[in-house]
Structure 1
Amino acid sequence: MTNPRIALVTGANQGIGFAFAEGLAARLAPSDLVLFTGRNPQRVADAVTRVAGARSRVEGRVLDVTDVGAVERLAAELREEYGGVDIVISNAVGPLSAERTQAEQADEFIDVANGGTHAVLRSFGPVLRPSGRLIVVASSLGTLGHLDPRVQPLFDGASLDDVEKVVESWRAAIHEDTVEEQGWPRWINVPSKVAQVAAVRAVAAQRREQDLRDGTLVASVCPGLVDTRASRPWFEDFSQAQTPAQAAGPVLDLVLASHVDPAAYGELVRFGVVLPWHSGTPSRYAGVTAR
């Protein structure tokens, strides 16, 4: 008898995070469990009640990804209760308002997007069962070529510890107003997304051989332009934007595929296609944010 699969999505109370979790609940088996997580208890509870068409079991769990201890405890609880997890989608993202400077919002944004990614990778990687999926939602902006050549080497071939140190150095440059002097773009979404992808690559490099033997996938994904409340302030043309459910589809296809393509392992994937790590053009634009 096959053990029930355990799936977890961070930032699952709204937008594409909700679509990921709802889509998993619709596609997994009745014995499987999908955990909707977020930091606001009421929003998590409300999200679970909104789920439509679920085949699997669904539950809400409160989780603030900026609380490293909380992430560690939940991973340990799931290992104790279920023997581990099978699917983890790290989707939580910090708010970014058009009404405030990016420097004013940098700490919360970085703590959620980058600190949260690091915490999930560190805590859930060790409890991921064979044939599991550990996915970080990033962006096509996460390729190394989007950074100035002066700072690109900081992420290329970096360990997870290295990535964390670079993120903190970049954070300090934001507060010291030396980002442009050091080669960082003022648009904080770019270094943040590159750091997320670099963190995934770092973890994947350590696990690759065993994971590919086990049929396990560690990767980052770009869902494309999604029409959500968070993206609305930053774009004028949404004619090509997807609904959260539409954007979730290709990501869930990757997550639930029976075969792991070695070419996608550790890489950034958009609509089933690997985006080369060194691709992209350096950007200093500070006017928009996107996934």
Structure 2
Amino acid sequence: MSETKIALVTGANKGIGYEIASGLGALGYRVGVGARDEGRLEAAVDKLRAAGVDAFGVPLDVTGDRSVTGAAELVEWREGRLDALVNNAGISGPTGPGWTQDPTTLDLDLVRTVVETNVLGVIRVTNAMLPLLRRSAAPRIVNVSSAVASLTRQADPDIEIGPVMAAYSPTKTFLNAVTVHYARQFAGTNILINAACPGLVATDFTGFLGPRTPQQGAATPIRLATLPDDGPTGAFFEDAGVVPW
């Protein structure tokens, strides 16, 4: 009988993150549910368990060194290794009319706050979990990005890419670049790392606007978290295939 695989999903108490946890659980993974609000975390774990998922809570604020260290220690104590890490936690920061962030009036503290979660938080969590991932026979890392990270699409006037979001969008571009450098560092190892675009999903993150469901948004991250050994690495994917950088 094969050993149960262990996954950790950050920002997993709701929305896309919850559905990623649910989907991995349906595939037989034991899933660590990472979230910073302990009440919401407990509720999410209870809901997942009621649905048959082997879930456990991981209190985790990706912006805090002590919180991330504690999360790694908890996974170490409970499981001893990690097979899949999905860096899903992210924020957009406040927006103006039309869900915009005007670069000409942008508050630099806002930019720092969004970078802290969307980029530095991913680096912080990934590096803390790497010793556990290295114990896996087939470690996978997925960074949840966005179509608005694509410079190719953003710069093409013929592609409808949504409003100007001068804080949020560049952090996802930054995250994509970080993903590529991790892939280069992992070259020759069994660690596969990729970025995933869930599409415009109707969650509280988007004010419940968007044509896609959280389950649909979770599909690509789940696929990348469960890639075979000959799967791609250092790339950016959506449901339809590769997203241009």
Q: Return the TM-score normalized by structure 1.
A: 0.70
Does structure 2 conserve the Cα–Cα contact (< 8 Å) formed by 1:147 and 1:190? no
- Report matched runs for 1:178-257 at 5 Å: 187-211=166-190, 216-232=191-207, 238=210, 241-257=211-227
Query: Given that residues 58 and 74 in structure 2 are in contact (C-alpha distance below 8 angstroms), is that contact kept between their aligned partners in structure 1?
Result: no
Distance in 2 (alpha carbons) for counterparts of 1:217 and 1:272: 20
Q: Which structure would you say has the larger Rg?
A: 1
CA 70–260 in structure 1, closer or farther in 2 if over 3 Å, else same = farther
Residue deviations 1:220-267 (CA, integer Å, cap 9, x gap): 11111101111128x6xx4xx111012212331332243432xx3011
Partner of 1:91: 88
Q: Equivalent residue for 1:130?
A: 137
Which residue pairs with 2:13 in the alignment?
Answer: 13
| Letter matched to residue 190 of structure 1 | S
Match status 1:63 vs 2:60? yes
The 1-side partners of 2:203 and 2:17 are apart by 11
1:109, CA displacement in angstroms?
1.8
The gaps in structure 1 that reach 5 residues or longer are: 149-184, 278-291
- Kindly state the Cα deviation for residue 106 of structure 1 after the two structures are TM-superposed: 2.6
Number of the residue aligned with 2:159: none
Secondary structure of residue in 2 paired with 1:51: helix
Tell whether 2:243 aligns with 1:275.
Answer: yes
CA deviations over 1:90-144 (Å, ceiling 9, x no partner)? 0101252335965263333221111211112222233212312111100122234
The count of aligned residue pairs is 227
Moved segments of 4+, more than 6 Å:
none
Q: 1:186 to 1:51 in 2, by over 3 A?
A: closer
Query: SS at 1:89's partner residue?
Result: strand
Percent identity (aligned): 27
Distance in 2 (alpha carbons) for counterparts of 1:230 and 1:45: 20
Decide whether the 8 Å contact of 1:87 with 1:132 is kept in 2.
yes
Paired letter, 2:8: L
Task: Work out the CA distance in 1 between the residues paired with 2:175 and 2:184.
Answer: 14
Distance 1:126 1:143, change over 3 A: farther
CA contact (8 A) 2:91 2:117 kept: yes
Which structure 2 residue ranges, 5 or more long, are not aligned?
156-163
RMSD between superposed Cα atoms in Å: 2.5
| SS of equivalent to 2:137 | strand
Aligned to 2:46: 49
Partner of 2:158: none
* Structure 1 residues 195 and 147, CA gap change in structure 2 (3 angstroms): farther
TM-score computed with the length of structure 2 as normaliser: 0.82
User: Does the 8 A contact of 2:147 with 2:243 survive in 1?
Assistant: yes
